[in-house]
Amino acid sequence: MGNKQGWKRRAFFDWRFIKTEHRRSYRLAFILFWSILMYFLVQRYVVSAGVITDISMLPTLPEGNYYLVNKYIYVFALPERGDLVVLRRDRFASEQYVKRVIGLPGERLLIRSGVVYINDRRLEELYAPGPTFPDLGPLTIEKETYFVMGDNRPVSEDSRQYGLVPFGQIEGKIKTDRLFPFR
């Protein structure tokens, strides 16, 4: 009886009480429910992972690379030229595409002789290994839409084929760093 009051103190974890504990299953269900809910909320609104499944972003992102999508960044800022974004072609599509933002709202875009011009100034694209074809424009980018292209221009299916991308279809921004560098 090491206690002054004379009552026995219950240990933090005592196997004798496990069999008689009736609330144990409720506690586990509570923890499981909130864990699953938090997982889906974080994945939907904060950050999620993905895998590059095509070669449209070579040499920047090789096929099979993993990436993290920062989904909350565009709550505070708008996409900028050069951002690598994850997008869906329409709201209900399941497939995600990784592309680079080339043209911003209100800008005038022109592609001539393999060169991209924004507002009549040549765009320096160190990430694109070759010329950009076919010729396109001049095209004025509408409000709240973006012109996106893959870095591997000959094989990339992008805004040249399916048009401007509304801001609502952009899910988030990724970085070019590898997620698992020792893979």
The contacts of residue 157 (CB under 8 Å, 6+ apart) are: 56, 150
Give the residue from 172, 151, 177 showing the smallest Cα distance to 65.
177
Catalytic, 35? Answer no
**How would you list the strands of the sheet with 136-140, edge to edge?**
121-122, 115-118, 108-112, 136-140
Catalytic, 25? Answer no
- Exactly one of 56, 71, 156, 173 is catalytic; which is it? 56
- Exactly one of 25, 35, 48, 99 is catalytic; which is it? 99
112 and 121 Cβ atoms separated by less than 8 Å: no
- Which residue numbers are catalytic? 56, 99
